[in-house]
Structure 1
Amino acid sequence: MTPDTFQALIARITAEIAGKPVDAALADFLNTRFPPGSAEFDEIAAACKQAVADGWMCEREHGGIKYGRVIKPCTALAGYSVDVVEMRDVVGPQHAHPNGEIDMIMPLEGDAKFDGHGAGWFVYGPGTVHRPTVSGGRAYVLYLLPDGAIEFTRQ
């Protein structure tokens, strides 16, 4: 697994969501088109595991969270950036999503949930704020951020 190969996997997703509003209907679309157990979902999850093992994904750590921006916003991904975090029973730093946030939730151990959601896709609309939380185990969460926009806020 290389960064270029990983980008090609993500491009299959972003090609289908380009131009769609970042809202609950997008989450429904993603959970129908790329559900957990589908070839695409499982291929991305396996790629994340391999990339972490290879040391180029989730290479930073702070406060019990492993993280890293894997791909900066680019035209090949319809302007989305890609971040991946590994979290285990932890609450992350509060942040805002000026343009929204699309989350791919990949439980790894236990009954891990991200902000109360199990395996699959969840979408925060533009202007939302949260403290990302994984409970019940360990998970990878892949974030697609339109234009790479994220603002860390005071709690």
Structure 2
Amino acid sequence: MSNIETFQGLIRQVTDFIGSQSLDKALQEKLNQQFPYNGEACQRIVETCRSGVEEGWMCQYEGGGVRYGRVIKPSAELHGYSVDVVDMNDLAGPHHRHPNGEIDLIMPISPEARFDGQPGGWLVYGPDSAHSPTVTQGRALVLYLLPEGKIEFTRQ
């Protein structure tokens, strides 16, 4: 089994749980309960992302100080979600809109790192939300689950 197949199996646990639930704060709470950041499932995802970045099959592109890459295109196996991973260190990324919402797994590399003010764990943005993704207080990896892979980069 390849690294990407193993990774997809880990993510499938999450997307099977999400199913057709609405992307909202209630889902954020459920994800943090079902897959707590320090729990086994979440830590397996974190370790796979860390090693994937080190091995070069994740975050293989760079622009504006952000390392990034789409690891998995939208697939029926993942309930239509795509998977992107970014590596950021004390900076704001490009402003963008989430037509269908966005589910983030925040993985601090620096112990105090925050993504959009949040520590390690799950963060959910609903449909039609927008932001400039920002990592403060160090370095973090962030995994993005995007319904249908949709994201629109915008000017702010």
TM-score, reference length from structure 1: 0.98
Structure 1 partner of 2:23: 22
Q: Which residue is 1:135 aligned to?
A: 136
1:150 maps to 151
Query: Deviating runs (4+, > 6 A) in structure 1?
Result: none
| 1:53 alignment partner AA | E
Structure 1: distance between partners of 2:83 and 2:44: 16
Amino acid at match of 1:54: E
Matched residue pairs, number?
A: 155
Q: Secondary structure at the match of 2:84?
A: strand
- Deviation of 1:110 after TM superposition, in Å, equals 3.8
The residue aligned with 1:126 is 127
Q: Secondary structure at the match of 2:113?
A: strand
1:1-150 equivalent positions in 2, closer than 5 A:
2-150=3-151
The CA RMSD over aligned residues, in Å, is 0.8
Runs of 5+ in structure 2 lacking a partner?
A: none
Given the two structures, how large is their TM-score scaled by the length of structure 2? 0.98
1:54 deviates by 1.2
Distance (whole Å) between structure 1 residues aligned to residue 54 and residue 140 of structure 2: 15
Name the aligned partner's letter for residue 58 of structure 1.
C
Structure 1: which 5+ residue stretches go unaligned? Answer: none
Instruction: State, as a whole percentage, how many aligned pairs show the same letter.
Output: 54
